[in-house]
Structures are given as structure tokens and as C-alpha cells.
Amino acid sequence: MATRADKQPPVPAGPIGVTVLGATGSIGRSTLDVIARHPERYRVVALSGHRQVEQLAEQCRRFLPDYAVCPGPEEAERLADLLRAADLSTEVLSGVQGLERVASLPQVEQVMAAIVGAAGLAPALAAARAGKRILLANKEALVMSGQIFIDEVRHGKAELLPIDSEHNAIFQCLPANFAGELAAVGVRRILLTASGGPFRTASREDLARVTPAQACNHPNWSMGRKISVDSATLMNKGLELIEACWLFATGPDVVQVVVHPQSVIHSLVEYVDGSVLAQLGNPDMRTPIAHAMAWPERITSGVGGLDLFDIARLDFEAPDTERFPCLHLAEQAIRRGETAPAILNAANEVAVAAFLDRRLAFDGIPRLIEQTLARVTPHPANRLESIMADDAAAREVAESLLQESQT
């Protein structure tokens, strides 16, 4: 985690080089929107996309990166054709090696880690080892390999800045001398806000009938499909609880989840003297993105001011872990430790993909995760190999449970 004490405001010789991993996604596009507002301050060095080759080519035409990364040779060839036709000299790379390379190039100072899911882990770790400022949206990477990630950041002298709106809000509410120990700066509790998702008031019967389109229609935020489903099941908050524990070097007892349906307060920090600091803003990810990119300075993000008269009221309630068991499963996983969070994350990725493919009912998601956690034994999480082995084991078990339930 970046600390303010050891940080001087940057005096860039020229524009700051940025790699945007997951450029074609929701966070990636918001990042490019912020960058486009500050051409004198930032330069796009590399972009990555997955299947949306046309969109990636369009982004290359607009931002003229040195490199673009595709998942495999087939997409790389299609992209190279499109770039040649546009007379661009962008070099096309592919695969995990390509992602790791653009995350560690010498001309890159900041890496936006906005690939969704476990696929984002390797390039985020590469950025940590290369000592970059990591703008971390890809919470799954930290959930899977928290200790290793934090250790690599420290060894690589990298900076880790949270993009997740809640964690960015918490970071903004911490004092300048926060150096990794909450108690040392008088923090008593972190209050992690949750919108409650689109089914906050739905009955159990309604939850069983939820469709992918309904689950992806979040009331306050426009996001990718996986995180939208995670928000609807409250697994997103579970992953964020684990993320908060790693980012702020604390345990789940210090982090309280508070449902706040308006998503105006993005999280709060309570101090021992009874003061509670909150960060508020319109629900638009360009605010945390601009904050983390410019920190410790401030730049415009395109997000307008908050109209408190329009908002008028702010509501709070406790999460219902009976209707939304995923939050509880995540909490159990972080308490269990070792590779349990990686197993939880992998089972969740399989469950969400199956739900989006209409192979699993919405209320089957927590059941599948719970059953997978019961069958895969966690191991010490001090080696990446053990984490990846348990990730693979969890995916295999979850897939076979899915198949059993369908036959």
C-alpha cells in the first residue's frame, strides 16, 4: 500500500507512461476517458483486450500506444491487420507473456490492472516486481494471493493504489502518516459500504428466478458482467472484505459491511476519538481512477459535483447474509486463511460463468461455492504454485458439481 510519508509529488520530465490492462472493459474505458482529459500528463504505452479486437484497434487508433496485447495468435493477427490498415506502428503481443511484458516496460510508470478475474493476477504481479504504481481494480488478484502480492509490492518498491471505489474511499479517509498499521494512526473500524445490489429487497422465491439480464442491471453502477453478478449476490462485498484486509493490513473483525443503497458514501473510517470520516461522490469510477493516477495531487475526472439536495437522504442497513450467503462464505474463507480465498474466488468464477450461461440458477451460486469449499482442502498460500494448484482444483470440483446437478 502506498504511504504518503515517503512520497514527493512527482515531477515528470514528460507525460507519465501508462499501461491499461483490460482496456476494452468498463474500468479500462473509464481510465482512457480520464487519460484523454490530460494528454499533457499521461501517455498510453500499452493497451490490452481479450475478445474485442475491433474495439482494441479503435482504442489504438485514438491513443497510439507502443504495444497492444491480445489473448492469442489468432486475435493478434486480426489486430495487426487492422492496425496495418490504419497505418499504425503499434506492436502487437499476445498471451500472458505479452501482458507481463507491457506491465513491466521501463517507459511505463503506472499500470491499470483492470482485467477481470484470476487472469489478471500474473500481469499485476509483474507490475509489482517491476516497481510500478499499480492502480488495482482487479480485486480477484489480491483475494487469491494477498500475502504474495503485498510482499512483491514491498520487494519491488512498487506502489499499490486501490481503484475499487470503497477501498479508494478508505485510502482517502486515512491520515497522511498511515504506514500500514491502522491502530498506530488511531483507526478503530473500517465501514465498508455496499449498495445491496439490484435484489436488496427481493424475496428468496424471487432470487431463485433471477435472470442474467436482471442481475447485470445494477441500480447505481455500470460495470462488467462478472462484477455485476458479484454485486447482486453480495460476493463482490465478500471479495472486497478480503481485499480490505490485505490493503489495510487488518482482519475481518475491524471491517464492518454497511448496506447503503444510494452508493453516495463510498466507505468510512472510524477513529478512536469517535470521529468518522467518509468519502462521498457520484457513483462514477472515473473519480477513484483519477484520484489514484494523480495521487497525491488532484486532477479533473469528468465527474460532476454532488447535488446533496437532489440526493436528500442517505440510508443504512445491515447486510442480510441469509438471503445473500456469499458475504458470509467470503468472511469464513478469510478467517480460514491459506488458499481458502483462492478456492472461494475460483468457485465463484465458475458459478458466475455458469449463471451467465444459464446453466445455474442465481441462488445456486452460493450453494456451488459452499460445496466446492467443503471439498477442496486449502494449503499454505506462501507459493504461487500452491495457489494456482488449488485454484485449478476448485474449478475442476465446481465444474463436476455443476455437471452432476444437471444430470
Out of Mg ion, ligand NAD, none, which partner does residue 264 contact, by CB within 5 to 8 A per kind?
none
Q: Hey, what's the cell of 307?
A: 447535488
Q: Hey, what's the cell of 225?
A: 458482467
Neighbours of 171 (CB within 10 A): 25
In a 3-state reduction of DSSP, which class is residue 306? coil
Near Mg ion by CB under 5 A: residue from 75, 109, 159, 164: 164
Q: Which residues pair with 190 in a beta bridge?
A: 255, 269
Minimum CB distance to Mg ion smaller for 193 or for 372: 193
Task: Name the minimum Å distance from CB 110 to ligand NAD.
Answer: 16
Neighbours of 68 (CB within 10 A): 30
Task: Please report how many Cα atoms fall inside a 13 Å half-sphere around the Cα of residue 93, on the Cβ side.
Answer: 19
- Beta strands in 328-384, from DSSP E residues, in sequence order: none
Q: Which stretch binds Mg ion (CB under 5 A): 64-72, 157-165, 246-254, 390-398?
A: 157-165
Angle ∠(36,27,169) on CA atoms, nearest 5: 100
Out of ligand NAD, Mg ion, none, which partner does residue 41 contact, by CB within 5 to 8 A per kind?
none
Q: Which stretch binds Mg ion (CB under 5 A): 115-123, 156-164, 257-265, 350-358?
A: 156-164
Q: Whose CB is nearest to ligand NAD?
A: 25
Task: Name the minimum Å distance from CB 289 to Mg ion.
Answer: 13
- DSSP class of 317: B
Minimum CB distance to ligand NAD smaller for 239 or for 371: 239
Residue 106-145 contact track with Mg ion, rule CB under 5 A, x = bound? ----------------------------------------
- List residues near ligand NAD by CB under 6 A: 22-28, 49-50, 52, 71, 114-116, 119, 137-140, 164, 221, 223-224, 226-227, 285
Side-by-side strand order, sheet with 265-271: 255-259, 187-194, 265-271, 276-280
Report whether 362 contacts 230 (CB < 8 A).
no
Out of ligand NAD, Mg ion, none, which partner does residue 115 contact, by CB within 5 to 8 A per kind?
ligand NAD
Out of Mg ion, ligand NAD, none, which partner does residue 158 contact, by CB within 5 to 8 A per kind?
none
The DSSP element (H or E) to which 54 belongs, if any, is helix 53-63
| Residue ranges in contact with Mg ion by CB under 5 A | 164-166
